[in-house]
Structure 1
Amino acid sequence: MSGHTAVDRRVREALWPFVEQVVEDWSLPAVAVCAVHRDRVLARGFGTADRSSGARATADTLFHLASVSKTFVAVAVLQLVESGTLELDAPITSILPALRWADPRAEGITPRLPLSHRSGLGDVSDYGWHQPELDDDALARFAARVAGWPLERDPGSGYRYSNAGFELLGHVVATVGGAPFEQHLRTHVLEPAGMAASTFLRDDVPHHLAALPHVGLPARVPGFAYPYTRSHAPSSSLHSSAAELGQWLRVHLARGDGLLSRTTHDSMWRPCGETGKPGWHSGIALGWFRGEHRGHAVVSHPGSDPGFQSSLVLLPELGIGAVALANANAAPVSGIAAAAVDVLLGLEPGGLSLPPVTARLAPVLASGGVEAAADLFHRIVAEVPSTSSVEDDEFEDAVWGAIELHRTDLARPVLELWQRVRPESSAAWRMSGWAAEVDGRPDEAATHLRRALALDPGNDDARAALQRVTSAAPPAGLAP
């Protein structure tokens, strides 16, 4: 049996049935998966790209990738470095002289530092999905706001994940490249990589190829709410498919062929520091995480925005990689990508945690309300052996996307259920406080957040939110 035939058979007989079962057990709208073995790309979609229309997901369905977008920005920056038009270790203040920098320590920020999340910048707190900025100047305006921030630490002094740093890098690309960020990425990265349908502009996504976000419980399409604004294009807004991401994996398994020289590509993946996280994300390089899988070196990147999850992983020394995409927040995409890698290694897929209890609660909550769902929850908790994960994280995954999109109406039934079955959960009251803050009810938000702190004085997110809602600042859709 040829190598390709053997790989095809393993994927067909082991991986695809595994993914189908995950979609059913987790009650997911859609998942798309790609497995790459050297030059062989196998991709498939499962489930429904849009539950409101019943459109099926395929290998060509375009998903919002969230932070997987950053791997493309890293290539664009290093292309400019390779061409001699940008210096990786030049002060960003000299590259973007039009910006007014509030903190003198910004002189120490170079493109290398935000690429490796060591710039000293904090992270984005309000993405403004509910008030998208769609004009060509949106990214420049946000970069100007970031320049006005005080740094959280000295540049280069340690790892701190910052989406804002990548918005700055996107503005660097647009400024040095002389074209809007999205146009530059299409011309210099996407098209040379063979990704003609992929785009950073949501308006370029054909309706029949679009995966829509699903939030709340049961997970549903939140109308016109969508995680997209051009002010956060570099960190978050690439739309791509499992099939075209297979091309992206092939380019990198070939050490940047057609995009970067091998020397520059190798430098992109060279470790820059530790993150303090386990597994695939224990180290950071330039725009990529580093780690290991079953003793093999891994480069990867995850993504998470309201209604979407993504995971991309490569084992370069073995010539294999995988992508998993989903249009819901409860999807175990990293586990699915790991299963795909294991199948390519000749192992059985598995290793996922129990499905979330919310998958079983959703239809009952929809048809019978909070009381019926609470009764079912207590019966599930009593099951021996356990068949569902009943942790707070499962409820949080069901609500945070809806709240961040300012569709709190889709979150409130879940919040009420969560409060009913877990009245001593600090997380439940923190999320309830955030929902009230988004709705412009600061007194109600403060009541919930004080309860969260009474239950857990170490809940720093609740403390920060309480400070916001009790200050003179107007309420905003701030992520917890």
Structure 2
Amino acid sequence: MQAPFAPIPHRAAPCSRRQFLGYGTAGMLAVVLPGCHSDSDDNPPSPSNVDYSQTIEWGRKEIERALAGDRQNVAAVSIALLKNDTVVWQQAFGRASVQDNIAATTQTRFNIGSVSKVLAALAAMILRDRGLLDLDVPAARYLPGFSMLSPEYAQITTRHLLSHSSGLPGTSMRNAFTFEPLPGYAVNAEAALADQHLKHLPGMLAVYCNDGFTMIERLVAALAKQDYASFIQDNVLDPLGMSDSGFLTEWPEGGLFALPYSKGKQYAQEFVSPLATGGLTTTPGDMMKLAQLFLEQGTYQSRRIVSADGVAQMGTDQTTGLIINPSPQWVWGLGWDSVRHPGLAAAGVQAWQKNGGTAFFSSDFYVLPDQQLALMVTGGTGDAQLPDTYRAGALAEGVLLRALVEEGSISGLPPLVAYTAPPRATAPDLADAVGVYANYNQPIRVTANPDGSFSLSAWNGNAWQAMNGDASYSYRSDDWWWSNDAPISYRFEVVSGTDANGQAYQYRYLMLRGPLFGAGYNESTLPMGQQLLPQAPLNAVWQTRMGKTWTVINESPKTVPSTLSLDHTLYATLSGLPELPGYILVRNSSYDDGSPEYQLLAPIADDRAGMTVKIPANAGRDLYELHFTMAGDKEILTIGSWVYEPAIV
């Protein structure tokens, strides 16, 4: 999701890693959509006297506005809307290939990124139905080769993996997005975990985790005695007749694919190596067949694919047992980002939702079980800084809510969230709250002002840069800190207790509240950073590494980051923050496609530094640890599954 959690409008979010969450791509402070050329596919007849003509007209205009408003990035958008067992709207807009002027059609396949996780959860449920898998048995029992440095890895269950609560570090990004098929991703990702710790105890909190679904890929292969792509083909895609869907594990021999297009340049076919995590290529029309499976509680055209209980398990709230959960509006399912999507909940409607993205595409998939309604939209990732661009979450919400109004399921659109600051109140003492807050991509500094307000700044690589246009935040009667009538407000929240190992914990979060996802009909509350306190200065061994650069030696030159980096060289640098002694500030360009992104790590030993934050939802995702070894006279650096050698100066 474009800028998943951090409201820093002065910089655009990099696409590949951030889009590959699924969770977050709905669009920060999303404006309703945009678009351009469309094909003229005939719409099938409605199953009732409701033809959804007003909904379709609105959706077409929004997509056309998106394509017209962001011609440098949004080349094609495709959408399908299902009611009961009938597709009432299916249409493709724009061009599958800008370079060759090939129009997108309803058979044009898109890479849908993390929407693929729904199929991974479905695969687990099929294996569960066959008696091969217990969701609450440790995954290591099925994968004897799986290990990690934290002994608690042996407590990770399949349920943890499917609900983002496993504690795995996040995402193994090496060779993930490529311009040619690269085998072995899941095996390499599992091997890399053997040299890493957990970032939190299994089941303690839920934070978006791609590697959990890569481990599902490994589980399926082990239990089904069949590779993951073949299992999904045989047990899901073929039975549902999803003939325009599959995993690109080799160069396609046929089919029409939307080609990547970004900043006015077209690229070759994109391949996504983490198959269960985000590798499906498909059409919205095919995804409506999958939606029917969920609406029919596990059957498709009277054929049982998965048990009704399996579908129900996927749609069940998985957050009830979490120890730390400061964002209760987001209700994780199994494979679903949310089984009570906030935007539809604002209208009193339950929706199961999953979004996703790749380096170049953004998608959203909804199933509304009570209304027998479903939607899939996919298209080129828009520029988050433009007012008129493609935002999957906002478009999807807008179409679904209008369809619900048109069919009479709801009386009208819910009101947009109003942002009128309440009266000022006596501010609490900020002494304990000021300082540096870390997350997965950019440290944030809270500074107290003489008038009792505070200001925010973010580290840009060289200095602290004011966030949100130099805004200052004053305490208000609703216990939040506001900058006049701006849509974003903040507060500080301390969580404390004793974990499953009997260890006491206390974490202070900087919480953000606002219209973070969708079209503005609801607001969500998310932690965007965890406060870190100064430690003893780094020892001499670590001090000698500060300011040095290492270059990647095991990433394919055919990956998206390698191709898009200016000199095709991926690197990592180590430094520090003067305000926060005792920590290592890491920039890893192979992780962020060249955009300044930084993590704060703490030394574990002279040869290893580890993760420092335990943040639920999204801001604590995709963490890593460093490990140094010697190869002759060279100090070799490992970050996750990447290997680096000292840069030649």
Q: Same fold (TM over 0.5)?
A: yes
Verify: 1:340 aligned to 2:399, yes or no.
yes
- Aligned counterpart in structure 1 of residue 138 of structure 2, from 67, 81, 91: 91
Asked if structure 2 preserves the Cα contact closer than 8 Å seen for 1:103 and 1:148, the reply is no
Q: Output the amino acid matched with 2:294.
A: H
Match of 1:285 in 2: 333
Verify: 1:31 aligned to 2:73, yes or no.
no
Once the two structures are TM-superposed, the CA of residue 326 in structure 1 deviates from its matched residue by: 0.7
Structure 1, unmatched stretches of 5+, are 354-401, 412-432, 451-457
Once the two structures are TM-superposed, the CA of residue 170 in structure 1 deviates from its matched residue by: 0.7
Once the two structures are TM-superposed, the CA of residue 160 in structure 1 deviates from its matched residue by: 1.5
Once the two structures are TM-superposed, the CA of residue 273 in structure 1 deviates from its matched residue by: 0.6
Residue identity (%) = 22
Match of 2:564 in 1: 407
Verify: 1:260 aligned to 2:306, yes or no.
yes
**Aligned partners of 1:53, 1:66: CA distance in 2, in Å?**
25
Structure 2, unmatched stretches of 5+, are 1-44, 384-389, 407-411, 418-558, 569-586, 599-612, 614-618, 628-634, 643-649
- Aligned counterpart in structure 1 of residue 285 of structure 2, from 215, 225, 243: 243
Could you tell me the TM-score, scaled by structure 1's length? 0.71
Match of 1:303 in 2: 356
The CA deviation string for residues 216-259 of structure 1, in whole angstroms up to 9 with x for no partner, is x23x22346x3522xx1110110000110111111111122132
Q: Considering only CA atoms, is the larger Rg found in Structure 1 or Structure 2?
A: 2
- Aligned counterpart in structure 2 of residue 112 of structure 1, from 159, 162, 165: 159
Verify: 1:184 aligned to 2:231, yes or no.
yes
Verify: 1:222 aligned to 2:275, yes or no.
no
- Aligned counterpart in structure 2 of residue 17 of structure 1, from 61, 79, 92: 61
Question: In the TM superposition, what are the counterparts of 1:139-154 in structure 2 within 5 Å?
Answer: 139-154=186-201
Q: 1:66 to 1:152 in 2, by over 3 A?
A: same
Asked if structure 2 preserves the Cα contact closer than 8 Å seen for 1:65 and 1:308, the reply is yes
Match of 2:109 in 1: 62
Asked if structure 2 preserves the Cα contact closer than 8 Å seen for 1:129 and 1:405, the reply is no
Aligned-partner SS, 2:317: coil
Once the two structures are TM-superposed, the CA of residue 182 in structure 1 deviates from its matched residue by: 0.5
Q: 1:101 to 1:38 in 2, by over 3 A?
A: same
Which structure's residues are more often strand, by fraction? Answer: 2
Q: 1:272 to 1:13 in 2, by over 3 A?
A: same
Could you tell me the TM-score, scaled by structure 2's length? 0.53
The CA deviation string for residues 129-174 of structure 1, in whole angstroms up to 9 with x for no partner, is 4668956644223222224421111111110211011000111001
Match of 2:315 in 1: 269
Q: 1:154 to 1:246 in 2, by over 3 A?
A: same
**Aligned partners of 1:267, 1:21: CA distance in 2, in Å?**
39
Verify: 1:473 aligned to 2:637, yes or no.
yes
Match of 2:260 in 1: 213
Q: Output the amino acid matched with 1:60.
A: Q
Aligned-partner SS, 2:339: strand
Q: Output the amino acid matched with 2:101.
A: G
**Aligned partners of 1:328, 1:477: CA distance in 2, in Å?**
27
Aligned-partner SS, 2:306: coil
The CA deviation string for residues 305-361 of structure 1, in whole angstroms up to 9 with x for no partner, is 2101010112211111211101224330111111220231135999999xxxxxxxx
Q: Which moved more, 1:326-335 or 1:245-254?
A: 326-335
Q: 1:127 to 1:435 in 2, by over 3 A?
A: closer
**Aligned partners of 1:351, 1:119: CA distance in 2, in Å?**
37
Once the two structures are TM-superposed, the CA of residue 94 in structure 1 deviates from its matched residue by: 1.1
Aligned-partner SS, 1:266: helix
Q: 1:49 to 1:202 in 2, by over 3 A?
A: farther
Asked if structure 2 preserves the Cα contact closer than 8 Å seen for 1:335 and 1:351, the reply is no
Once the two structures are TM-superposed, the CA of residue 438 in structure 1 deviates from its matched residue by: 7.8
Match of 1:321 in 2: 374
Q: 1:261 to 1:410 in 2, by over 3 A?
A: farther
Asked if structure 2 preserves the Cα contact closer than 8 Å seen for 1:438 and 1:476, the reply is no
Asked if structure 1 preserves the Cα contact closer than 8 Å seen for 2:183 and 2:249, the reply is no
CA RMSD of aligned residues (A): 3.8
Asked if structure 1 preserves the Cα contact closer than 8 Å seen for 2:178 and 2:271, the reply is no
Aligned-partner SS, 1:322: strand
Q: 1:115 to 1:407 in 2, by over 3 A?
A: same
Match of 2:11 in 1: none
Q: 1:22 to 1:276 in 2, by over 3 A?
A: farther
Q: Output the amino acid matched with 2:565.
A: T
Asked if structure 1 preserves the Cα contact closer than 8 Å seen for 2:181 and 2:249, the reply is no
**Aligned partners of 2:166, 2:565: CA distance in 1, in Å?**
34
Aligned-partner SS, 2:637: coil
Q: Which moved more, 1:74-83 or 1:50-59?
A: 50-59
Asked if structure 2 preserves the Cα contact closer than 8 Å seen for 1:298 and 1:315, the reply is yes
Q: Output the amino acid matched with 2:637.
A: A
Asked if structure 1 preserves the Cα contact closer than 8 Å seen for 2:167 and 2:202, the reply is yes
